[in-house]
């Protein structure tokens, strides 16, 4: 697709980034877009490759290669190259409800599988996607389109993260009356309170929620189903219920001194900053502040990186990020060939900012927390760490990280942020609806299905598959919507 020789003629060019020392002065997004002319050249790089792995979502070596939404990537790349932006938008929104989210925060499984990247640089698929959807908004092409006919069926969606929003959107388009219950004060789930502003401006989330509301989706915020809202009453009032509450149980640290003052879960830390910004700005009293503190972040993933970037914007004194696993190689190894997901070291925006501010990468690999030390007032004073070494289990053949004796070190710390992932769905929601959970804490359903086994109760998103990506949550929401539609109507025309 695109220009047949485009991948030879044009080099990959990404949206520029503001310099770290400039962007840390605020919580604004920092990737200004390239021109339409340059974007057309980037679309032209899409090859007529014959087998578009970018949209395949194939399982290879235990991981997924390509987009779980099966986005029609070569088609809308061709439309960008040809200048047909409205046609590109039609092709993009056929499979993706919220490109403005994935275009900002998705790690781009599509690009990892791009044929152009086999021997060079992949197409800028994610940024092309973002350019298409934002062009649609800028030119007022995207408008609320309420369904012309209602089915008479009522559906409750519990949770307004990407899975819940996608499910609600699809069911509303079909003509069902959809009510979304959200326990927080604003709709959006992790899009609103789990991803910081510099990655996803909250005006973008509110813009989409506003469109869905104009199309007829009802949002009820401050409604914690299973606690402040009775689950049985919801079941009685609706023809179907879809649980999209996320993987809300954070993984904790089971170490001595865990009760020290100054220890926070990442989700609480990030949420407090976002709430403060939405309420007019940061003050000394309205958020969990890292200002002037020595911070240790436990967890080397995206959320840990977000915490690093947020701490720097607060004005922390220092920040260290602990990663249990060894540092990944800088390039693909022979056992990690294209189009597998590249298991390589990525230095993300927060880490780049730490390098600019403090002069070194904040990550310490093969290390975890041994114990926490607090002062006489119970406040965190330091973190004792221990080194880890990968060892193969003789029985299972799996690699496990084992403590290295005598490797303890002490890091001065006034704040510890736990960004070690999640262990499954919130227990009280599952108990309220009577659904079963797997050993990993996810809501059980039939293989490849979303029905929980409890009459008219379905599930989708992280609550169903475990902690994952926004793009997977959207795919789950769409799939669950089709299953609910068939349950309600006896058939479905959703694709």
Q: Which domain holds residue 461?
A: 154-248+423-489
In a domain, 255, yes or no: no
Q: What's the pLDDT at 95?
A: 98
- Tell whether 28 and 131 lie within a shared domain: yes
- Tell whether 328 and 393 lie within a shared domain: yes
Q: How far is CA 451 from CA 202, 242, 447, 485, in A?
A: 32, 9, 10, 12
- Tell whether 331 and 408 lie within a shared domain: yes
Number of structural domains in the chain: 3
- Tell whether 99 and 41 lie within a shared domain: yes
CA distance 339 to 337: 6
Q: What's the pLDDT at 125?
A: 98
Q: What's the pLDDT at 1?
A: 61
Q: Measure CA of the first residue to CA of the last residue in the chain; give whole Å.
A: 24
Q: What is the pTM of this model?
A: 0.96
Nearest to 351 by CA among 390, 395, 299: 299
39-94 pLDDT, tens digit per residue, is: 999 999 999 888 899 999 999 888 889 999 999 999 999 999 999 999 999 999 99
435-451 pLDDT, tens digit per residue, is: 999 999 999 999 999 99
- Tell whether 131 and 238 lie within a shared domain: no
CATH number of the CATH domain containing 340: 3.50.50.60
Residues of the chain with pLDDT under 50: none
- Tell whether 412 and 429 lie within a shared domain: no
Where a domain ends, among 385, 418, 451? 418
Q: What's the pLDDT at 2?
A: 67
CATH number of the CATH domain containing 114: 1.10.1060.10
- Tell whether 243 and 268 lie within a shared domain: no
Neighbours of 207 (CB within 10 A): 13
- Tell whether 275 and 408 lie within a shared domain: yes
Where a domain ends, among 76, 108, 138? 138
- Tell whether 236 and 306 lie within a shared domain: no
In a domain, 37, yes or no: yes
Q: What's the pLDDT at 399?
A: 87
- Tell whether 220 and 76 lie within a shared domain: no
In a domain, 148, yes or no: no
Sole residue written with tokens 């200002």: 291
Where a domain ends, among 138, 163, 192? 138
In a domain, 13, yes or no: yes
192-207 pLDDT, tens digit per residue, is: 999 999 999 999 999 9
Q: What's the pLDDT at 336?
A: 93
Nearest to 104 by CA among 332, 306, 308, 357: 306
- Tell whether 47 and 93 lie within a shared domain: yes
CA distance 71 to 55: 6
- Tell whether 269 and 412 lie within a shared domain: yes
């Amino acid at each position: 697709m695109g220009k047949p020789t485009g991948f030879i003629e044009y080099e990959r060019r990404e949206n520029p980034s503001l310099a770290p020392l400039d962007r840390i002065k605020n919580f604004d997004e920092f990737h200004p877009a390239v021109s339409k002319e340059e974007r057309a050249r980037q679309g032209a790089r899409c090859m007529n490759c014959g087998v578009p792995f970018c949209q395949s979502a194939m399982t290879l070596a235990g991981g997924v290669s390509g987009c779980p939404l099966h986005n029609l990537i070569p088609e809308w790349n061709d439309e960008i190259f040809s200048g047909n932006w409205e046609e590109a938008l039609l092709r993009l929104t056929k499979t993706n409800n919220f490109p403005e989210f994935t275009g900002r925060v998705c790690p781009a499984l599509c690009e990892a599988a791009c044929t152009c990247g086999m021997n060079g640089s992949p197409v800028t698929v994610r940024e092309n996607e973002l350019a298409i959807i934002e062009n649609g908004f800028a030119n007022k092409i995207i408008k609320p389109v309420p369904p012309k006919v209602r089915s008479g069926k009522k559906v409750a969606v519990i949770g307004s993260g990407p899975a819940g929003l996608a499910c609600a959107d699809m069911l509303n388009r079909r003509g069902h009356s959809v009510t979304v219950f959200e326990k927080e004060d604003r709709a959006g789930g992790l899009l609103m309170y789990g991803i910081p502003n510099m990655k996803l401006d909250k005006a973008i989330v509110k813009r989409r929620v506003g469109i869905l509301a104009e199309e007829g989706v009802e949002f009820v915020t401050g409604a914690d189903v299973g606690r402040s809202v009775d689950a049985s009453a919801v079941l009685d009032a609706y023809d179907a219920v879809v649980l999209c509450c996320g993987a809300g149980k954070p993984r904790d640290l089971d170490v001595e001194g865990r009760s020290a003052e100054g220890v926070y879960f990442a989700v609480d830390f990030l949420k407090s900053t976002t709430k403060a910004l939405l309420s007019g700005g940061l003050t000394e009293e309205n958020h969990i502040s890292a200002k002037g503190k020595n911070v240790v972040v436990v967890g080397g993933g995206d959320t840990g990186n977000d915490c690093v970037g947020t701490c720097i914007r607060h004005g922390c004194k220092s920040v260290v990020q602990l990663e249990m696993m060894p540092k990944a190689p800088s390039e693909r190894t022979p056992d990690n060939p294209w189009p597998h997901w590249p298991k390589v070291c990525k230095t993300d925006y927060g880490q780049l900012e730490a390098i600019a501010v403090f002069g070194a990468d904040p990550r310490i690999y093969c290390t975890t927390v041994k114990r926490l030390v607090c002062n006489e007032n119970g406040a965190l004073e330091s973190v004792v760490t221990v080194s880890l070494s990968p060892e193969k289990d003789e029985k299972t053949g799996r690699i496990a990280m084992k403590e290295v004796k005598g490797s303890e070190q002490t890091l001065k710390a006034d704040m510890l942020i736990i960004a070690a992932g999640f262990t499954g769905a919130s227990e009280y929601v599952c108990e309220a609806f009577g659904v079963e959970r797997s050993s990993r804490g996810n809501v059980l359903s039939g293989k490849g299905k979303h029905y929980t086994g409890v009459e008219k109760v379905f599930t989708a998103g992280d609550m169903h598959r475990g902690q994952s990506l926004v793009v997977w949550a959207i795919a789950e929401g769409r799939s669950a919507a089709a299953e609910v539609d068939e349950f309600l109507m006896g058939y479905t025309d959703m694709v």
